Chain A
Amino acid sequence: MVMDYMLSEEEQMIVETARTIALEKMKPLREYYDEKEEFPWDIVKEFAKADLFATYIPEEYGGFGKGVMGLVLVVEELCKVDGAISLSLAATALGAFPILIAGNEEQKKKYLPDIALGKKIAAFGLTESGAGSDATGMTTTAIKDGDYYILNGAKCFITNGGDAETYTIFAKTNHSRGARGISCFILEKGDIGFSFGKKEKKMGIKASSTRELIFNNCKIHRCRLLGREGQGLMIAQTTLDNSRPGVAAQALGIATGALNEAVNYARKRVQFGQPIASFQAIQHMLAEMATEIEAARALLYASARMIDSGKVKRTSKESAMAKLFCSEVAMKVTINAVQIFGGYGYTKEYPVEKMMRDAKITTLYEGTSQIQKNEIALNLIKEYVTKSKL
């Protein structure tokens, strides 16, 4: 039984649809994609046919307008079965958020409907080799030239890189202004001067592509600028406020999947003449896993609802809390799931080995756990400063 979070009827349909796709389409192929490290195009098509790309996109752009909660529910449900294939969808949301947040009507109409239909997937390019946790250290430049901008530089570790059609890219338009000199642009696969570098070989989420993006005198029209010049960092931060719950949902899904596997295995595996589930040591592990997962879910849903309510301007603290907690729980739960499986958990015969590898990324990207804590503390202290002034 799961706890009742009072999902609306439409939210339940989202969950049901995602579950059916996960079980019928993804589950039979998850080992294949993990092993081959191919981009899961045939499953992306299934996501598209089932309208799973559309949940968080507003209705006027072809979506269902179900907000961050709509995204969270899809990602969580898919990741219960596979946390890597689902990233094609979650990272598309990450790439689409800058357009949702800062796009003008024309840009939204041009790009969002295809993303909602799953015709085009998206990617988000912030990180560079010298600028990870500190995005302001980026060196990619976009220099204005009449009606155009000319981009030079490279982004690394970009999820969906090379496979996506639509990219939201951050670059410095004014070096002297530091953090205020960053701007955000829409790039399209095929833009002249825009190419792809090496694909990373990774510990986990192997079905997801992670590539380098290279800009070599890449000339794009100014209609590709999102918002105004200098708003890039703000767009990136607001994007992360919206997308980190997506990573949290990925983590939560993986953790839930691992718990399911662990309980089923513990009930079947017999040692010392009894199922290992009868040992208190195993029971306590399962009890902790289940409790932490439920706490993580409650925190995540509450954060997503808060973001969707639109009552507060920024939700950096809440998004960071959800991401921090869910990803750390996912790591702990998947490690314990492997423990419960014993030696079998360490083999590829069982899915928990993969779940543990896949879970790790959630404590790293879109800001490491340390960066989430910085964000939480910064906002927490800020709130107290404001309060003490009243």
Chain B
Amino acid sequence: MNIIVCIKQVPSVTNVQIDPKTGRLKRDGVESVINPFDEYAIEEGVRIREKVGGKVIVITMGPPQAESALREALSRGADEAFLISDRTFGGADTLATSYTLSSAIKFIGNYDIIICGKQASDGNTAQVGPGVAEMLNIPHVAYVRKIELLSDKSIRVERIMEDGYDLIESPFPTLLTVVKEINNPRIPSLRSKMFSKKAFIRILDAATIGVDAKKIGLNGSPTQVMKIFTPPQRNCGEKFSGDAKDIAVALVRRLSELGIV
């Protein structure tokens, strides 16, 4: 089984700071890591390979520094890595990113399953995974929390829903986006860390994968960012203390003041 895992390098903080003047993410001095959701995607890919054989190829689109995310993915058990990198890819929105990734996947070819994290922790759109599937014209299942059954022709998965889960079966090739409930990513072993430092990572540029220049980077991105801002912090709730009876009275009074009861 050949598995391609798409990952993204993101700033390591959860509350990304935004420069109020430029409206851009402040990346200075912030460590870069693999998007946390993608760690589950890598782990799931590696587990499938461990069960049925094959290989796990990890890819990312990003600047040359994104190589470190790929090396980390190799230390977590992936077999091969490609860095999809070209100046002209810069400024891509989710549409251009999906196009570029799908073009790279076509170039690599010969895949059965593509796995992505459900979303990236910086942009949080959750669009790229499904976008890639659409451009490849293959089925996809988003928010997968469990692989139920795996045969050589199809895969049956549980898709997490607000009120339970769906059981969905898909033929190959297929694309899955996974949620963090799906597994518990392993700690990289010393051997795999050493392997990852030495591994060869091939760079795929625009010319190599043969993309349409109008569909990549800034040119290929219809999304216009008008303004970026940090949403105001929500105030914390009110706290009542005292003995149970007083608290109950105070609470009811407050709720009725607010017109809730």
Chain A residues engaging chain B, CB cutoff 8 angstroms: 9-10, 13-14, 16-17, 20-21, 24-25, 46, 49-52, 54-55, 64
| B194 close to A50 (CB less than 8 A) | no
| B188 close to A17 (CB less than 8 A) | yes
Instruction: Name the B residues within 8 Å of A24 (CB-CB).
Output: 187
Rounded to whole angstroms, the CA-CA distance of A16 and B75 in the bound complex is 13
* B193 in contact (CB, < 8 A): yes
| B187 close to A14 (CB less than 8 A) | no
| B187 close to A51 (CB less than 8 A) | no
Rounded to whole angstroms, the CA-CA distance of A33 and B42 in the bound complex is 33
| A9 close to B190 (CB less than 8 A) | no
| B190 close to A54 (CB less than 8 A) | yes
* B191 in contact (CB, < 8 A): yes
| B189 close to A13 (CB less than 8 A) | no
| A50 close to B197 (CB less than 8 A) | no
Rounded to whole angstroms, the CA-CA distance of A20 and B189 in the bound complex is 10
**Residue in B closest to A48 when the chains form the complex, CB atoms:** B189
Residues of chain B from 175 to 197 with CB closer than 8 A to chain A in the complex: 186-191, 193-194, 197
Q: Specify which of B187, B191, B194, B197 is in contact with A20 (CB 8 Å cutoff).
A: B187
Rounded to whole angstroms, the CA-CA distance of A49 and B50 in the bound complex is 15
Rounded to whole angstroms, the CA-CA distance of A313 and B172 in the bound complex is 62
Interface of B, helix, strand, loop or mixed by DSSP? helix
**Residue in B closest to A13 when the chains form the complex, CB atoms:** B193
Q: Specify which of A17, A46, A49, A55 is in contact with B193 (CB 8 Å cutoff).
A: A17
Residues of chain B from 118 to 137 with CB closer than 8 A to chain A in the complex: none
Instruction: Name the A residues within 8 Å of B197 (CB-CB).
Output: 9, 13
| A64 close to B194 (CB less than 8 A) | yes
Residues of chain B from 155 to 214 with CB closer than 8 A to chain A in the complex: 186-191, 193-194, 197
Rounded to whole angstroms, the CA-CA distance of A55 and B193 in the bound complex is 13
Chain B residues engaging chain A, CB cutoff 8 angstroms: 186-191, 193-194, 197
Rounded to whole angstroms, the CA-CA distance of A46 and B191 in the bound complex is 14
Q: Specify which of A10, A13, A50 is in contact with B187 (CB 8 Å cutoff).
A: A50
Instruction: Name the A residues within 8 Å of B187 (CB-CB).
Output: 17, 20-21, 24-25, 46, 49-50
In the complex, how many angstroms separate the beta carbon of B199 from the nearest chain A beta carbon?
A: 14
In the complex, how many angstroms separate the beta carbon of B47 from the nearest chain A beta carbon?
A: 14
In the complex, how many angstroms separate the beta carbon of B11 from the nearest chain A beta carbon?
A: 21
In the complex, how many angstroms separate the beta carbon of A217 from the nearest chain B beta carbon?
A: 42
**Residue in B closest to A16 when the chains form the complex, CB atoms:** B193
A sample of 13 more A-B contacts (CB under 8 A), given A13-B197, A14-B190, is A9-B197, A10-B194, A13-B190, A21-B187, A24-B187, A25-B187, A49-B186, A49-B187, A50-B187, A50-B190, A52-B190, A55-B190, A64-B191
Q: Specify which of A9, A16, A51 is in contact with B191 (CB 8 Å cutoff).
A: A51
**Residue in A closest to B191 when the chains form the complex, CB atoms:** A51
In the complex, how many angstroms separate the beta carbon of A386 from the nearest chain B beta carbon?
A: 41
Rounded to whole angstroms, the CA-CA distance of A52 and B187 in the bound complex is 12
Rounded to whole angstroms, the CA-CA distance of A25 and B187 in the bound complex is 10
7 A-B pairs with CB atoms under 8 Å apart are A9-B197, A13-B193, A17-B193, A49-B189, A51-B189, A54-B191, A64-B194
Rounded to whole angstroms, the CA-CA distance of A13 and B191 in the bound complex is 10
Rounded to whole angstroms, the CA-CA distance of A321 and B187 in the bound complex is 36
Instruction: Name the A residues within 8 Å of B194 (CB-CB).
Output: 10, 13, 64
Nearest 5 Cβ contacts at the A-B interface: A51-B190, A51-B189, A13-B193, A51-B191, A50-B189
**Residue in B closest to A62 when the chains form the complex, CB atoms:** B191
Instruction: Name the A residues within 8 Å of B193 (CB-CB).
Output: 13, 16-17
Instruction: Name the A residues within 8 Å of B188 (CB-CB).
Output: 17, 50
**Residue in B closest to A64 when the chains form the complex, CB atoms:** B190
